[in-house]
Structure 1
């Protein structure tokens, strides 16, 4: 009996992921308190899950959401500045021409299943890049927000945002997102092309659940054929330019001062993350 034929929902939990499987859909709730920072353990668990489910024919759609209503994925863990070897294991498994953060996004983008983000809270930095790598994104009006706030830390995005956003928006809007570094609400994100739709918060769950079930119920081979026909852009040369820009700035003293200053001022706490842009703008360069 395959997943589609089971009436009950199969539940699985890792330390940071709560996974439910039913009717061809795997729903993955991210839970990494206090604010769902994208740290090394969370990246490992997400990567392991994506690799493990690739060959599961009964799972046709992946829906990512958050167990925290305020934060989807806050951003990459800023404390990693003190652990230069944190990503050594990732580097060994990273395809040539990509850094570990770009490879993480590309793993999601190249997933054989259809991938959907159900965004009810905030996603910034590496969290927003994870969102942008997915096939579809639906966000709650009034509570969802997206930001590429790296410039406020003295760097530019290094996990794919420059390329993913350029595939969705005009150049001017990409530069506005990256250099303006503001939190973008769901309605604006929809208008800019960052997400598929901005949906009333009370309707988000039902809409995404219905869409995911309908897609999972399509005849075998339809999802794969559609993803193959609507081919994703080849971004390798752009990733190279992005990594050079990001790495060059990360090596500068300003980046270290701003990241450490942000942590001291309250970044990665719930209060600080609710107004992270304001917190970072208050720092002295």
Structure 2
């Protein structure tokens, strides 16, 4: 697929997916979500990509929401189908084997906030704004916002954001746990790339199994979760990276992981 609405590149094991509709503040229309789906599915099977970063083009917006003009005339069946389509793509992002970092460089509203919550964690620029304004448009969040935002920040903050339809700034987002770090906009990508490279230097299978254990565990009781953890912990001992990592530690050298 030739992309018209996103940009994608890979460098040093880091994939960069950029929503590229700056004139529309990177709003998500159907074509953009379809391109994201294609890109994410290719990332999932590319072992050369150790980490994926998702951001928006320009200096104003990460993703300002879904394309309202495109949604305005939908009937109930079409609205439901659009919601399911977006949810499925965001779930594919959430379930990617590789860690996914959201680099939030401006507005993260509606579908943009929902997209950020599908990522493993979020870094934001000082000018970033977050919100779920859907109730002001007569709809609910439809791309997973009622579920993922709640899991990220807790019921109280999620309900307040969704019920009021208001916006919060980056510092408040940091205070409630929606973002991990806030940095000046000019430094955002450098800071994100630094942490992405730090992740990429570790054993890829171990990182991916850790992600799977966390994601599976948050949706079950702790006993079931630690049972799953024991399984992936044991599987790591079947990898060449485990032998290399522990061997390098004993020999007091840096490991050279291969992802096998």
Name the counterpart of 1:102. Answer: 87
Pairing of 1:1-285 with structure 2 (within 5 A):
14-34=3-23, 35-79=25-69, 80-84=71-75, 99-141=84-126, 143-232=127-216, 233-234=218-219
TM-score, structure 1 normalization: 0.70
TM-score, structure 2 normalization: 0.77
In structure 2, the CA distance between the partners of 1:70 and 1:101, relative to structure 1 (3 Å rule), is same
Instruction: Give 5+ residue unaligned stretches, structure 1.
Output: 1-11, 236-285
In structure 2, the CA distance between the partners of 1:217 and 1:86, relative to structure 1 (3 Å rule), is farther
Q: Secondary structure of 1:230's match? A: helix
Alpha-carbon distance in 1 for matches of 2:100, 2:198: 14
Q: Deviations over 1:32-70 (max 9, x none)?
A: 141211000000000110011211100011101111210
Alpha-carbon distance in 1 for matches of 2:2, 2:9: 8
Q: Secondary structure of 2:72's match? A: helix
RMSD, aligned CA: 2.4
Count of aligned pairs between the two proteins:
217
Task: Give 1:100 shift.
Answer: 2.1
Q: Secondary structure of 2:108's match? A: strand
Q: Is the 8 A contact 2:26 2:57 kept in 1?
A: no
Alpha-carbon distance in 2 for matches of 1:85, 1:150: 16
Task: Give 1:133 shift.
Answer: 0.8
Q: Is the 8 A contact 1:24 1:217 kept in 2?
A: no
Q: Deviations over 1:171-223 (max 9, x none)?
A: 22111111122211111001111111222323322211111111112123122
Task: Give 1:124 shift.
Answer: 0.8
> Which range moved further: 75-84 or 124-133?
75-84
Q: Is the 8 A contact 2:22 2:61 kept in 1?
A: no
Alpha-carbon distance in 1 for matches of 2:139, 2:2: 35
Structure with more contact order per residue of length (Cα contacts < 8 Å, sep ≥ 6): 1
Q: Is the 8 A contact 1:40 1:87 kept in 2?
A: no
Alpha-carbon distance in 1 for matches of 2:212, 2:108: 28
Name the counterpart of 2:248. Answer: none
In structure 2, the CA distance between the partners of 1:127 and 1:85, relative to structure 1 (3 Å rule), is same
